[in-house]
Structure 1
Amino acid sequence: MDPLNFVNLIQSALAATGILGGLLLWLTKTKEFKGIAFLLFTIALGSCINILEETGLTREIYLISPVFIMLFGPMTYLAAKLLIDKELNKVQWWHLFPVIPLLFFTSYTYLVIGIGTVWRFAYAFLTITLLLKYKQTMDEERSDSEDFSLNWLVWILAVTTMFNLIDLIRLNVQQIIPYELNVLGQGINNAIWLVVVMIITIKLQSQQKIPKITEKPTAPDTIKHSTKNDYSSLFEELDKLITLNQWFLKPRLTLNDLSVLTGLQTRDISRAINVITEKSFNEYINNYRVNYVFTTIEKNTEKTLSDIAADAGFSSKASFNKVFKEISGMTPTEYKCRKEV
């Protein structure tokens, strides 16, 4: 048995954190978190197998660890798919099938690592695309889409993919680089995954229940070939009703809510807003909310920003601050201070 080194200690911490994070998410009542929980369990298992192989306990029996490089890609994609769609069909499970044949070729370590890394990059791209489309659809459906944003997960995937590329280079040149440098690179890679597992666990524990998509996003080609004349009268009627009744002040206003209030079809409302204002439903509603905040601050500077934000329909302080700065170019506090001077 080979002695343990600092990398194995990090791997042990990663295994423990993966198991704990997986249990915390698995035991929640939110079933769509179970895919992420299973992913964390798999990361923990991969770390345990790495320790067993690197210390020589199972290395001579059979080499398994290279297969995990290929496994993480489709598992991450399926976990994100379950998070968004709330269920997986039987066909989608076939994403894991290509991993099985590689189990019989793990003696060709570098070949398996190379194939697995390319596979992982491909699935990282698919997963990021899936998450960005979800955010786009939420923007078209909800005024509070920022509260359910999974952009943090997109950043995690982008960063880990970049480090996976660097680690692939290390794996392929480890025969010609000093042992200490190789071990340091391995340690850094495992430390990054340790941090990633902790971030995922904490973020999902604090994340509100993620809404399911109810409408397919309007096809870009449909919007592109629509003219303002096609929707001008409908938008005028819609905009008049929204401003007259101040429906934009309704917290967590959705496209479906607006459809019930106006009697118009959700698709017609969405297209009218997209074509005439060239904004998403989320941007359109939040513009009115920020203008309401402007007016309220000018009229009553004694009111707290939290109260003003709640009156304007914002459901959280974080989304209020983000939206306000995007539209005004300054934070709510900065704007309020300028008006008080």
Structure 2
Amino acid sequence: MDGLSFGWRTALLSVMFLQLLLLALSLTRVLQNRIANRTMAALLFVLAGMLIPWMIGFAGFYDKWMWLTFAPFQISLAVAPLFYLYAHALVTGQWPDKGQRHLIPAAVQLLVYTGSFLLPFTLKMRWADMASPALTWITSIAIVIGLGFYCYASLRLLQTYRAALAAARSDGHRYAALWLGNAIAALALLLLIWTSFLVWDLLSPLGYSGLMWLYIAIGAFALYLGIEAWRHSPLPFPPLSSLKATADTLPPPRDWAELGKLWADKVKAEDWASDPDLSLASLARKLGTNSGHLSRAINEGLGINFAAFINDLRARRVAAMIAQGRQDDLLDLALDAGFSSKASFNRAFAATFGMAPSQWRKRQVSNHE
């Protein structure tokens, strides 16, 4: 097209933009974790929109059609709250009460840019000269503050969820904790990058081309979120409320230390820990008690949470098999003992014996020589 130039910058951002749209559309079609996945889809649409001004700007759209000034493509103040709303919906199954209030700054940003965009052309250009620098800096500072606040809020939510998972299930690593932890780490990295560019631009203005690298980082962050959210989209995540209801029932006073030891011996004798899907509720049924009693006997009586209790039994079973001379691959022994992944096995074994399983096996072999 006359006056337009489609270089590598436009091509790169266009590829990112199209991939984000495809991922967002895919997430809207997943029925499992529906609210969380649709929230992530909205976040990906917002992030894709943030690439548009740079994508078309490097191609010359704003020079050829100056009326595009203030076109409300970038609703950047929606990024951080949508991330938090996704995290909340993933671990609770819904948005928080009056969750829409988190999007008020983004709505104000949308109204300001839409109103500016609809101004008559001459007035719009004057307004752009007067207001654009101030709006850019106000928005940038608000973005950094929002990313920091919602990163912290998401981390607190994740810590609560991890504690509830550990108290109610032995296979908590299968669920949102690991993925959500990685997503929050990515958000923290984006906060660091965005803040660095903001300070850099303040001390030495980067110009349009210099800020391109910030938007490449935003696009990379968005693609990571989209791909990983799509991978995790169909997995069943136990709602936080159900985990708390399982683990936090308050039974009448008992000798929890005695009950904890009694039930621990029973679990070990029956080898129930070798069931990879064992949960607090299912073990309580096997023991003929309720999950509240069992949770308190483990937490107060044994001084550990449910996941640590079960994984300790599994690690000791693997150690016993090694001591008996079993030559199977360590992962096979771990699967026999009830572990469902190599990572969870290694962590649990090191927590119980203070060393890696391979080191333990070598020591046992040397002791018998």
TM-score range (shorter-chain normalised) is 0.7 to 0.9
> Which residue of structure 2 aligns with residue 11 of structure 1?
13
Q: Give secondary structure in 2 for the equivalent of 1:301.
A: coil
Q: Do residues 154 (structure 1) and 181 (structure 2) align?
A: yes
Give runs of aligned pairs for residues 22-61 of structure 1, distance below 5 A.
22-30=24-32, 31=34, 32-52=36-56, 55=60, 56=62, 57=65, 60-61=68-69
Match for 1:21: what amino acid?
A: L
Q: Do residues 262 (structure 1) and 270 (structure 2) align?
A: no
Rounded to whole Å, the distance in 2 between the matches of 1:187 and 1:233 is 64
Match for 2:49: what amino acid?
A: L
Rounded to whole Å, the distance in 2 between the matches of 1:206 and 1:337 is 38
In the TM superposition, what whole-angstrom CA distance separates every residue of 1:209-253 from its partner, at most 9, and x where no partner exists? 32223132878xx9xxxx9x8522322332232122222122211
Alignment equivalent of 2:166, drawn from 127, 131, 139 = 139
Distance 1:47 1:171, change over 3 A: same
Q: Is the 8 A contact 1:147 1:319 kept in 2?
A: no
Alignment equivalent of 2:361, drawn from 318, 336, 340 = 336
Rounded to whole Å, the distance in 2 between the matches of 1:276 and 1:160 is 39
Q: Is the 8 A contact 2:10 2:56 kept in 1?
A: no
Alignment equivalent of 2:197, drawn from 161, 164, 170 = 170
Rounded to whole Å, the distance in 2 between the matches of 1:233 and 1:247 is 20
Larger-gyration structure (1/2): 2
Give runs of aligned pairs for residues 1-341 of structure 1, distance below 5 A.
7-30=9-32, 31=34, 32-52=36-56, 55=60, 56=62, 57=65, 60-62=68-70, 64=72, 67-68=75-76, 70-88=77-95, 91-105=98-112, 107=131, 108-171=135-198, 174=201, 177=204, 179=206, 183-184=209-210, 186-207=211-232, 208-213=235-240, 214-216=242-244, 230-341=255-366
Distance 1:312 1:98, change over 3 A: same
Deviation at 1:114, TM superposition (A): 1.5
Deviation at 1:66, TM superposition (A): 5.7
The alignment's TM-score, normalised by the length of structure 2, stands at 0.77
Distance 1:175 1:35, change over 3 A: closer
In the TM superposition, what whole-angstrom CA distance separates every residue of 1:108-131 from its partner, at most 9, and x where no partner exists? 221122223212221111112112
Q: Is the 8 A contact 2:46 2:75 kept in 1?
A: no
Give the total of aligned pairs: 332
Q: Is the 8 A contact 2:49 2:73 kept in 1?
A: no
Deviation at 1:316, TM superposition (A): 2.7
The alignment's TM-score, normalised by the length of structure 1, stands at 0.83
Which ranges of 4 or more aligned residues in structure 1 deviate by more than 6 Å? none
Distance 1:65 1:203, change over 3 A: closer
Q: Is the 8 A contact 2:43 2:83 kept in 1?
A: yes
Rounded to whole Å, the distance in 2 between the matches of 1:2 and 1:252 is 59
Unaligned runs of 5+ in 2: 114-130
Q: Give secondary structure in 2 for the equivalent of 1:215.
A: helix
Overall identity of the aligned pairs, in %: 22
RMSD: 3.2
Which is further off, 142-151 or 199-208? Answer: 199-208
Q: Is the 8 A contact 1:17 1:194 kept in 2?
A: no
Q: Is the 8 A contact 1:17 1:197 kept in 2?
A: no
